[in-house]
């Protein structure tokens, strides 16, 4: 029978589980044990074997094994608490995978500080330059933001595809001081999030969602950063009705800003008709702006052109269509995926620091989440991406 370990801190075991948003029953199912058995580990009555501890560390809690031998839980800030425009009940429902990606986002912010000696080097910082004012109409803020970026509605319409539009918006935002990363989130309904910081705010997009959804999420989270708050974009935003005060105002404004920025009202008014509204009509309008049909539908709803019931029914229908048509990912090339996740701006930064001799191969591997022996393969994938751009 495998020997149990000594020296494991039960308090750290409980801390790691709670930070992952898992119950005793959740962890018990992963081991084929009873909740009481996991509770025994956390109270010191029993201890896991090393094999069990490895599974807890790497597969369940995504923590280094050594942390469970610490004399006390790490003094780690809980970034989930910064999503103050998300009701407490919704924060509690964030899955262990989503919580892990939020920790990863914080790790990327730390990396950016280390690589840039604590100062954002971008000559243009949208979160400093584009000021927001109380009760400012969303169309004015959207117009000022578009002017700041120097991208006209004609430029937007001339992009070749939604994928091209997403890449172009991402590049424009990163050139303005906000780093944008991607990750395939397992929790359905979470489209992305942002973590505010006075030097290195970051946005994470759920790469499992359509490009059009990522575009809306990107601008919803830019709004959060302009409002100096961290945020989460959910596919179903009915949670907004549970909010009160400033939190509700921010979420409503973020949605309004994203919709107005991507589909300016002046241009939109010249394209709409009085109905009836078919799927072909919404498809054509969505293609014009490289946005989702939901964005166009919301614009119609906000103007009273469709009923609330029509809006809810059509939104549900389209979500169900997408869920039914989505197939499981084949995985693709790991290094191409990492290039997409990390983005051109970040990869240019880490490789430049490496060639300057400011970081070594081991550090480069840590920053890019690949093994040192595989850095060359990542670099080749990155070079192929640059040459094809």
User: Largest Cα–Cα distance in the chain?
Assistant: 75
* DSSP secondary structure letters along 98-163: HHHHHHHHHHHHHHHHHHTTTS---S--HHHHS---TT--HHHHHHHHHHHHT--HHHHHHSSSHH
With a CB cutoff of 8 Å and minimum separation 6, the contacts of 8 are 41, 47, 48, 53, 68, 69
Name residue 204's beta-bridge partners. 181, 193
Per-residue pLDDT of the chain (389 residues; tens, 9 = 90+): 456 678 999 999 999 999 999 999 999 999 999 999 999 999 999 999 999 999 999 999 999 999 999 999 999 888 999 999 999 999 999 999 999 999 999 999 999 999 999 999 999 999 999 999 988 999 999 999 999 999 999 999 999 999 999 999 999 999 999 999 999 999 989 999 999 999 999 999 999 999 999 999 999 999 999 999 999 999 988 999 999 999 999 999 999 999 999 999 999 999 998 878 999 999 999 999 999 999 999 999 989 999 999 998 998 898 888 777 765 455 578 999 999 999 999 999 999 999 999 999 999 999 999 999 999 999 999 999 998 87
First-to-last C-alpha distance (Å) of the chain: 57
User: Hunting for tokens 């990107």 — which residue is that?
Assistant: 218
**Contact in structure between 370 and 378 (CB atoms under 8 Å):** yes
Of 170, 215, 182, 177, residue with least CA distance to 105: 182
């Amino acid at each position: 029978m495998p020997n149990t370990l000594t020296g494991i801190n039960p308090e750290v075991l409980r801390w790691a589980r709670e930070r992952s948003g898992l119950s005793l029953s959740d962890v018990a199912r992963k081991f084929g044990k009873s909740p009481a058995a996991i509770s025994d580990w956390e109270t010191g009555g029993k201890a896991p074997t090393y094999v069990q501890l490895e599974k807890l560390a790497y597969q369940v809690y995504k923590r280094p094994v050594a942390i469970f031998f610490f004399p006390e839980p790490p003094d780690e800030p809980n970034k989930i608490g910064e999503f103050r425009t998300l009701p407490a009940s919704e924060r509690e429902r964030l899955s262990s995978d989503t919580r892990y990606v939020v920790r990863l986002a914080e790790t990327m912010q730390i990396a950016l500080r280390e690589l840039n000696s604590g100062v954002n080097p971008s000559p243009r910082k949208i979160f400093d330059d584009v000021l927001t004012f109380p009760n400012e109409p969303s169309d004015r803020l959207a117009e000022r933001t578009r002017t700041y970026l120097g991208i006209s509605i004609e430029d937007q319409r001339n992009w070749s595809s939604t994928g091209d539009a997403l890449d172009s918006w991402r590049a424009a935002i990163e050139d303005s001081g906000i780093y944008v990363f991607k990750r395939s989130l397992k929790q359905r309904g979470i489209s992305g999030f942002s973590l505010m910081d006075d030097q290195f705010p970051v946005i994470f997009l759920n790469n499992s969602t359509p490009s059009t959804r990522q575009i809306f999420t990107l601008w919803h989270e830019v709004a959060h950063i302009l409002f100096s708050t961290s945020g989460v974009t959910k596919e179903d935003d009915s949670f907004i009705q549970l909010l009160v005060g400033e939190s509700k105002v921010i979420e409503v404004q973020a949605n309004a800003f994203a919709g107005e920025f991507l589909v300016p009202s002046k241009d939109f008014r010249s394209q709409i008709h009085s109905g009836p509204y078919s799927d072909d009509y919404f498809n054509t309008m969505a293609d014009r702006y490289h946005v989702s049909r939901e964005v166009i539908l919301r614009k119609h709803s906000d103007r009273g052109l469709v009923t609330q019931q029509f809006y809810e029914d059509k939104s549900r229908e389209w979500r169900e269509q997408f869920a039914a048509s989505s197939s499981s990912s084949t995985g693709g090339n790991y290094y191409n995926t990492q290039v997409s996740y990390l983005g051109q701006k970040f990869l240019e930064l880490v490789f430049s620091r490496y060639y300057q001799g400011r970081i070594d191969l081991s550090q480069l591997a840590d920053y890019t989440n690949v093994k040192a022996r595989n850095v060359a393969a990542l670099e080749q994938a990155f070079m192929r991406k640059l040459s094809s751009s």
